[in-house]
Amino acid sequence: MSDKPTNSMMTDNARDWSPESWSRCASASEMQFRYPDESGLAAARARLTQLPPLVTSWEIEKLREQIAQAQRGERFILQGGDCAEMIDLCRSDLITNKLKILLQMSLVLIHGLRMPVTRVGRFAGQYAKPRSSPTETKQINGESCTLPSYFGDLVNRIDFDEQSRTPDPMLMVEGYMHAAMTLNFIRSLLDGGFADLHHPEYWDLSFFNNASVSDLRRAQYLNMSRTLADGIAFMQNLGEQRVEEATRVDFYTSHEGLNLYYEQAQTRKVPRREGYYDLSTHLPWIGERNRQLDGPHIEFFRGIKNPVGVKVGPGMQPDELIALIDALNPNNTPGKLVLITRMGVGKVADKLPALLERVRDEGRHALWMSDPMHGNGITTASGIKTRSFDDILSELEQAVDCHKQAGTVLGGVHFELTGEDVTECIGGGSGITEDDLSRNYVSLCDPRLNYQQSLELGFLLAQKMGNE
């Protein structure tokens, strides 16, 4: 298919869309939550509309260009962060550690894949969560009580009482403020040399000495980290200036664009550019539960200039996927669309190939990314939500194989991770078992890979892809 749109595509897109057209969508009332306080909602939206943007259109355009490169196999995208950020956990140590693990993973991938890596954090706005049910019922003093589910700190509060669970529009302003503080700190860290690769802690992988991995694997990790450190030392010898240029680090932000009031309020025209940009983040994505073709999320995200991600689960049919691609990227623009597959370890080999082949055969431009987290949730006998490191790794490896078979490009990965020593996922070299889960389980939402599990996964992915 040519990159040229048909006339009807272009005019339909331009004619019918506006930043608020999603609210006239027949199923807009199906957004899972409702704000009962209408005047509060109007005030919060007005305030957010006046506040300055969190990101700029030129950063967004730069990311779009990098996604286009990744589509062509010239670059790789590493996306990762919390399942749900929490306003109370907007803390310097947690932000720093999240940046550090993403940076370390990216270095390992640069080395293994021999190509540049773009880092995208699930941060500075990952505050809204879709739920499988709009309400939650609990027994309180022997009586059954039903309240709205917790939709993340951008919408309501976790405590199970009526006031906390009622969607509060001012939380959108609070979320914006904390996203701004997070971003401000990240920008200062990067400007101030946080990503300076001379810092010894980036190369201290001594914890692998005690990890319960095979001797072969331990030797491979140590060998890779030694080669990496040697490479940096070599560049350093070339002169300070060269190292700084070569290792200048960009970070981009992403979040699930669940709350369309929030997204709309930050969606604007900017001088000297055509169209509207959602300036709350560089890369918003649409979740698996909100990608109905006639739904409000597709309506909103089809009209903005940002690259947009969409989750693709095992129920997706090839025809539906083509319709979704055409709705979100009618001009078939490279770098505009990220298809984030999240099939599950038992389904990926069965479901992914037909989608890859169809998109390939129809000539649609999209970046394929693998999210090996969201199809692999399990609940232990004692009721704790977890994921197994081996399942996550296996889905990733199978996705690599499916792309190889189809002759398509796996251009990125999407993880839920943290830079902390949490015990939320089982397995990996740190040997976390079901019995360890309660030791440091912090996530209010999905379980994340901890620091060591994340880095180990980076090594294994680099090894798998580097050998292909």
For residues 290 and 416, what is the distance between their CA atoms, to the nearest angstrom?
Answer: 19
For residues 441 and 22, what is the distance between their CA atoms, to the nearest angstrom?
Answer: 37
Partner from Co ion, ligand PEP, none binding residue 287, C-beta < 5-8 Å depending on class: ligand PEP
Minimum distance of ligand PEP from residue 342's CB (angstroms) = 5
Partner from ligand PEP, Co ion, none binding residue 311, C-beta < 5-8 Å depending on class: ligand PEP
Report strand pairing: 267-269 vs 251-256: unpaired
Written as six digits, the tokens of 297 are 């999320």
Point out the residue whose Cβ comes nearest to ligand PEP: 287
For residues 324 and 338, what is the distance between their CA atoms, to the nearest angstrom?
Answer: 12
Minimum distance of ligand PEP from residue 269's CB (angstroms) = 29
How many residues of this chain interact with Co ion, rule: CB under 5 A? 2
Minimum distance of ligand PEP from residue 143's CB (angstroms) = 31
**DSSP, residue by residue, 91-141:** -HHHHHHHHHHHHHHHHHHHHHHTS-EEEEEE-SS------SSSEEEEEET
Question: Applying CB under 6 A, which of residues 157, 374, 403, 448 lies at the interface with ligand PEP?
Answer: 374
Minimum distance of Co ion from residue 366's CB (angstroms) = 22
**DSSP, residue by residue, 134-156:** SEEEEEETTEEEEEEPP--TTT-
Written as six digits, the tokens of 163 are 């006031």
- State yes or no: residue 232 binds Co ion (CB under 5 A): no
3-state helix, strand, coil in the chain (%, to 5): 45, 15, 40
- Phi/psi at 78 (5° precision): -110, 115
- State yes or no: residue 287 binds ligand PEP (CB under 6 A): yes
Site for ligand PEP in 376-395 (CB under 6 A): none
Minimum distance of ligand PEP from residue 276's CB (angstroms) = 24
Residue with Cβ nearer ligand PEP (186 or 286): 286
- State yes or no: residue 288 binds ligand PEP (CB under 6 A): yes
- State yes or no: residue 371 binds Co ion (CB under 5 A): no
- State yes or no: residue 83 binds Co ion (CB under 5 A): yes
The SS3 of residue 430 is coil
Beta carbons of 336 and 365 less than 8 angstroms apart: yes
Beta carbons of 386 and 434 less than 8 angstroms apart: yes
For residues 327 and 247, what is the distance between their CA atoms, to the nearest angstrom?
Answer: 38
- State yes or no: residue 83 binds ligand PEP (CB under 6 A): yes
Instruction: Specify the DSSP element, H or E, that contains 369.
Output: strand 367-370
Written as six digits, the tokens of 66 are 């990098």
- State yes or no: residue 342 binds ligand PEP (CB under 6 A): yes
- State yes or no: residue 456 binds ligand PEP (CB under 6 A): no
Residue with Cβ nearer Co ion (153 or 446): 446
Q: Tell me how long the chain is.
A: 468
- Of the listed pieces 242-250, 281-289, 358-366, 380-388, which binds ligand PEP according to CB under 6 A? 281-289
Question: Applying CB under 6 A, which of residues 311, 336, 387, 448 lies at the interface with ligand PEP?
Answer: 311
Site for ligand PEP in 431-450 (CB under 6 A): 446
Partner from ligand PEP, Co ion, none binding residue 288, C-beta < 5-8 Å depending on class: ligand PEP
Question: Applying CB under 5 A, which of residues 446, 457, 461, 465 lies at the interface with Co ion?
Answer: 446
List of residues 6+ apart from 100 with CB closer than 8 A: 201, 202, 419
Site for ligand PEP in 117-136 (CB under 6 A): 130
For residues 363 and 353, what is the distance between their CA atoms, to the nearest angstrom?
Answer: 15
Minimum distance of Co ion from residue 43's CB (angstroms) = 31
For residues 340 and 254, what is the distance between their CA atoms, to the nearest angstrom?
Answer: 13
Report strand pairing: 308-312 vs 267-269: unpaired
Residue with Cβ nearer Co ion (221 or 389): 389
Residue with Cβ nearer ligand PEP (310 or 325): 310
Minimum distance of ligand PEP from residue 287's CB (angstroms) = 3
Partner from Co ion, ligand PEP, none binding residue 387, C-beta < 5-8 Å depending on class: none
Minimum distance of ligand PEP from residue 154's CB (angstroms) = 13
How many residues of this chain interact with ligand PEP, rule: CB under 6 A? 10
Minimum distance of ligand PEP from residue 291's CB (angstroms) = 8
- Of the listed pieces 156-164, 217-225, 283-291, 328-336, which binds ligand PEP according to CB under 6 A? 283-291
- State yes or no: residue 82 binds Co ion (CB under 5 A): no
For residues 7 and 420, what is the distance between their CA atoms, to the nearest angstrom?
Answer: 51
Nearest CA among 246, 126, 149, 151 for reference residue 197: 246
Minimum distance of ligand PEP from residue 341's CB (angstroms) = 9
Chain CA centroid to CA 429, Å: 24
Residues that bind ligand PEP (CB under 6 A): 83, 130, 256, 287-289, 311, 342, 374, 446
Residues that bind Co ion (CB under 5 A): 83, 446
